[in-house]
Structure formats: structure tokens, C-alpha cells
Amino acid sequence: MPTSPTTLFADERAGSIYRTAARIIYTKGFEAASMSEIAKAVDLTKAGLYYYVKGKGELLFAIMSFAMDLLDREVIAPAQRIGDPGERLRAIVEEHSRLLTYDEGALVILMDEVGSLSPEHRSRITERKRSYFEFVRDTLDELAAAGRLHAVDTTVAAFSLLGMVMWLARWYAPGGRLAAREVVRDITEIALRGVLREGRPEAVSAASSAVYSEEVLS
């Protein structure tokens, strides 16, 4: 279905606005980032920016929804197709970590700025996050029922694993001396080993100490 040139341009422009806004909000925080600043970054006046977005709150909500869609598509949906709960857990940790090494803001905003949303928007985002959390915990429950989990509360375990993964966004600097692939693999190993009883088959583990480098403390 072809779109008219003007509309296509508008869509591309809108996309670049959201991406730029995400980067700025991610860097400075939502409250500290001003609409004028975002407008200037996309070569518009503030009023010009308001032609595209309804308001600051709507902008934040749009970015978060985009991030949630990304998480759904890249992590949750693929994992849901995996039958074995152990492999499913591994896929979740691995893909979520990998996504965070790519990301340039949206996923971090999703984690950090829920408090800045309006009540209605907040409840919609929180609902999607809860459903993700429950997906992880259900997977852990399945493992526990099969006797494959160490004796820990699955709620605590789910939060801990997700926390470990999400923290990645706080410290990992792409382009630094730590390669994304090794980081993702190490995190996955630490996470799974933390909760799973089984001594997993780890053939790849030996090649671990390849190109490691410096990291950034925020």
C-alpha cells in the first residue's frame, strides 16, 4: 500500500523525532529534558514539535510503548515458542541482554521513568511489565515443579535475574573494550547458574576470555 510522499515524509520525520527524543530523555532524564531542547535537536521550534506530538506526557508514553513492543517482539514472543522451561529461561535472559546492548535509550526509559507517566498511561505500561515478569516467574515455577531449581522463592529469583539483566543498560558502553557477545554470554551463565540446579552442558564456555576491555562507571 503506497503512501503519499508528504505522509511518508511525515512518518519518517515522526520516527526520527521519537528516536531523538528517546536519546535525550535517556541521557538527561525525563523531567530534566525540555521540549525546546528536543525540538532544537530535530531542527524545529517548540511549536513545530507540537505539530507532531500532543504533549510531553504523550511523547514519553509513545517511547515507552515502542520499547515495550520491541521487548514483546524480540524477547517475549520468541521465548513463548520454546517448550523446555530451561531453554526458555536461557532465551529470555540472552535475548533481553542482547537487546540492551543495542539500545540507545527507549528500553532504559521504560525502566527508569514510569513515575513520570500519568496514572492512566502508567497503569497501561505497568500492566505490560507485570505480564512480562509473570512470564519469567511462571517459567521458574515450571522449573521448580520439575525439581530443576534450587530452593529459592521464584518471585525473588525472577526479580533478581531481571535486575541483573536490566542493570546491564546502566554500565555497558557499546564500542568499549568489552564485546557485547561475551558480556551477554557471561551474564546468561551467571543468571542460569544462580537458579538452576542442573550442571548445564556448556561447550562454549571455554572460549570466554577473548577480547575484554574497559567499562564505564556512570
Binding site for DNA (CB under 7 A): 5-7, 9-10, 13, 33-37, 43-48, 50-51, 55-57
Which of its own copies, DNA, none binds 22 (CB below 5-8 Å, type-dependent)? none
Residues 6+ apart with CB under 8 A from 59: 18, 21, 38, 53
CB of 50 or CB of 212, closer to DNA: 50
CB of 44 or CB of 166, closer to DNA: 44
Contact 107, 161 (CB under 8 A): no
Question: Which among 107, 113, 111 has a CA at the least distance from the CA of 95?
Answer: 107
CA distance 215 to 149: 32
Which of DNA, its own copies, none binds 9 (CB below 5-8 Å, type-dependent)? DNA
By CB under 8 A, is residue 60 in contact with its own copies? Answer: no
Contacts of its own copies in 107-146 (CB under 8 A): 112, 114-116, 126, 129-130, 133
CB of 46 or CB of 193, closer to its own copies: 193
> How many Cβ atoms are within 10 Å of 51's Cβ, its own excluded?
10
